[in-house]
């Protein structure tokens, strides 16, 4: 039996280092075991009786998209609305919508009476999947903001890793955006470069839809990762603040991200003996190389102050950050530096772009990590965590955790027992 190591994560920083495994991975034939169960949570609005909140009996609808260069006036003038009418509608719209925010490519609709009339009764502009502005084009005119109902569901999913996690989630019928959400939840605790075939992710998450289409990103409520050890995260919100915690109520937000890139791949690790590809000799490599396309954002792995931002023949363009009296990090071979010496930076802030300046054979960032003045392998370090939940918060958290843990257990057990597989 594998040891259960409960971990958790907070924050909205995108996980560094995940997309190498999300988008790229071993190209294996699909093989999935999963279960997806749905619980309806709420509908934000009752279903409208007809399109755009307008009873369509006696009307016909012509839909289209706003053309490039079109304006409110040019859209309405050909249909018989004069300048005075357009001006009145613009003024009426001000409390609910700024006409100048109309954008090319957004859906729109004209609603005509079902007679021989050439003049539309309504014009509708869709700001997004939920909000749409309804212009009543008949005197005395009116403008109102309507909303489509947002449907919220809670779902359970368990998927075995067979190759790239992104593809495994898609094959299991899940929203692929869950892959990036997982990277955010486990940004500080799971090294996505090391997940293996046969590992398993089991999730309980919240998904919104509008008219049957996915709306917004899913929100993970609880997740269990079964790899070399079992790691868990549970979303807990208290006094307006939310974060991910392990089963013991400890925040999984760490002082440092796992890696300085949102995506990439490791091409060379921390070692005391490596053949240098440029200098053509054996020497120590006291950093970790992450290959990625030119211009890929390089992120500060933790809060700190930039102590160096410059150029040397070996490092190329580089940045060094002091995080506190114990830790420093350095980022080499940049194409472009985006911070200055003495500047304070936040965890996840873009500090440069991937390049190949200095002694480099291709685009990558060499990430170096100091502890008490000595270079160490950050992938082997135990990083400090954020503050745990207080004793007063624990009873409420325990109730949330227990409910989510039961749902994770059920989803994982059902997936294994179902033995649904495609080879």
Query: What is the band of 280 on the pLDDT scale with cuts at 50, 70, 90?
Result: low
pLDDT of residue 175: 85
Whether residues 42 and 161 fall in one domain: yes
pLDDT of the residue at 275: 54
Q: Distance between CA 399 and CA 403 in Å, rounded?
A: 6
Determine which helix (DSSP H) or strand (DSSP E) holds 402, and give its type and residue range.
helix 394-418
Based on the fold, state whether residues 275 and 343 are members of the same structural domain.
Answer: yes
Q: Note the pLDDT of residue 123.
A: 96
Tracing tokens 């992938």 back to the chain, one arrives at 379
In a domain, 244, yes or no: yes
Determine, yes or no, domain membership for 260: no
Look at residue 114 and tell me if it is in a domain: yes
| CATH classification at residue 67 | 3.10.450.350
Q: pLDDT tens for residues 307-317?
A: 999 999 989 99
Instruction: Compare 143 and 58 and report the one with higher pLDDT.
Output: 143
pLDDT at residue 84 tops 90: yes
Per the structure, the complete domain to which residue 421 belongs is given by 1-13+21-46+156-254+386-423
Domain final residue pick, 147, 165, 193: 147
Same domain, 371 and 302: yes
Instruction: Answer yes or no: are the C-beta atoms of 324 and 305 closer than 8 Å.
Output: no
Compute the distance between CA of residue 238 and CA of residue 157 in angstroms, rounded to an integer. Answer: 26
- Give residue 14's pLDDT: 36
Asked if the structure places residue 335 within a domain, the reply is: yes
Per the CB < 8 A criterion, the answer to whether 300 and 351 are in contact is: yes
- Summarised one tens digit per residue, pLDDT across range 362-372 is 999 999 999 99
pLDDT value at position 278?
A: 58
Same domain for 168 and 39: yes
Q: Are residues 188 and 40 in the same domain?
A: yes
Same domain, 286 and 355: yes
Do 207 and 333 have their domain in common? no
Greater confidence, 325 or 420? 325
Burial group, residue 82, by CB count within 10 angstroms (0-12, 13-18, 19+): exposed
Q: Which of 129-143, 266-280, 406-420 has the lowest mean pLDDT?
A: 266-280
Q: According to the model, what pLDDT value does residue 422 have?
A: 31
392 assigned to some structural domain = yes
| Average pLDDT for 137-150 | 93
Contact 194, 18 (CB under 8 A): no
**Residue 35 lies inside a defined structural domain of this protein:** yes
Statement: the pTM of the whole predicted model exceeds 0.85 = no
More confident residue, 79 or 191: 79
List, for residues 181-201, the tens digit of each pLDDT value. 888 888 778 877 678 899 999
pLDDT at 249 over 80: yes
Q: What is the pLDDT at residue 415?
A: 85
Identify whether residues 175 and 126 lie together within a single domain: no
Contact indicator for 191, 18 with CB cutoff of 8 Å: no
How far apart are the C-alpha atoms of 188 and 245, rounded to whole Å?
Answer: 12
Look at residue 310 in the predicted model and tell me its pLDDT.
96
390 occurs within a structural domain: yes
Give yes or no for residue 43 having a pLDDT over 80: no
Domain match, 175 and 236 both: yes
- Inter-residue contact 300 to 321 (CB < 8 Å): yes
Whole-number pLDDT of residue 47: 41
What the block records as the tokens of 313 is 């023949």
Residue count of the chain:
423
- 226/114: higher pLDDT: 226
C-beta contacts of 414-419 below 8 A and 24+ residues apart: 414/35, 414/158, 415/33, 415/34, 415/35, 415/158, 415/159, 415/160, 415/200, 415/202, 416/33, 416/158, 418/33, 418/35, 419/33
Is residue 415 domain-shared with residue 375, that is, in the same domain? no
Residue 119 confidence (pLDDT): 86
Beta strands (DSSP E) in 190-261 are 200-210, 213-226, 230-238, 241-245
| Percentage of the chain exceeding pLDDT 70 | 79
Lowest mean pLDDT among 39-43, 59-63, 214-218: 39-43
Total tally of structural domains belonging to the chain:
3
Judged by DSSP in three states, 188 sits in coil
Q: Which residue has the higher pLDDT, 14 or 281?
A: 281
pLDDT higher than 80, residue 13: no
| pLDDT confidence bin for 1, thresholds 50/70/90 | very low
Is there a single domain that holds both residue 287 and residue 219?
Answer: no
Same domain, 204 and 180: yes
User: Residue 345 maps to which CATH number?
Assistant: 2.70.70.10
pLDDT at 4: 42
What pLDDT score was predicted for residue 30? Answer: 38
Q: Does residue 259 fall inside a structural domain?
A: no
């Amino acid at each position: 039996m594998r040891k259960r190591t409960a971990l958790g994560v907070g924050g909205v920083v995108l996980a560094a280092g995940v997309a190498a495994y999300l988008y790229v991975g071993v190209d294996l034939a699909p093989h999935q075991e999963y279960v997806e169960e749905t619980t309806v949570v709420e509908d934000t609005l009752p279903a409208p009786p007809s399109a755009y909140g307008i009873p369509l009996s006696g009307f016909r609808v012509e839909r289209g998209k706003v053309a490039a260069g079109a304006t409110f006036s040019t859209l309405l003038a050909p249909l018989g609305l004069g300048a005075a009418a357009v001006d009145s509608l613009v003024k009426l719209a001000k409390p609910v919508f700024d006409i100048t925010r109309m954008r090319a490519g957004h859906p729109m609709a004209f609603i005509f009476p079902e007679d021989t009339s050439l003049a539309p009764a309504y014009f509708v502009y869709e700001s997004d999947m939920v909000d749409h502005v309804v212009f009543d084009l008949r005197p005395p005119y009116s403008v109102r903001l309507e909303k489509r109902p947002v449907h919220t569901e809670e779902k359970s999913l368990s998927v075995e890793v067979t190759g790239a996690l992104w593809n495994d989630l898609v094959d299991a019928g899940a929203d692929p955006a869950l892959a990036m959400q997982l990277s955010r939840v486990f940004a500080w605790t799971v090294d996505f470069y090391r997940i293996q075939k046969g590992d398993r992710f089991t999730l309980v998450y919240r998904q919104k839809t509008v008219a049957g289409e996915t709306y917004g990103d899913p929100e993970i409520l609880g997740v269990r990762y079964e790899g070399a050890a079992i790691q868990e995260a549970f979303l807990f919100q208290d006094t307006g603040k939310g974060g991910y915690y392990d089963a013991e109520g400890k925040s999984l937000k760490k002082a440092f991200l796992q890696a300085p890139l949102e995506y990439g791949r490791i091409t060379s690790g921390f070692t005391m003996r490596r053949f240098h590809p440029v200098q053509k000799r054996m020497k120590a490599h006291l950093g970790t190389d992450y290959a990625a396309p030119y211009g890929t954002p390089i992120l500060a792995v933790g809060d700190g102050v930039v102590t160096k931002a410059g150029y040397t023949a070996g490092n190329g363009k580089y940045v060094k950050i002091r995080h506190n009296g114990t830790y420093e990090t350095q980022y080499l071979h940049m194409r472009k530096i985006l911070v200055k010496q003495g500047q304070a930076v936040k965890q996840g802030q873009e500090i440069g772009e991937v390049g190949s300046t200095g002694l480099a054979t291709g685009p990558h960032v060499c990430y170096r990590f100091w502890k008490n003045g000595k270079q160490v392998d950050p992938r082997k370090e135990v990083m400090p965590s954020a503050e745990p939940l207080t004793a007063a918060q624990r009873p409420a958290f325990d109730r949330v955790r227990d409910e989510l843990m039961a749902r994770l257990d059920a989803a994982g057990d059902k997936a294994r027992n179902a033995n649904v597989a495609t080879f």
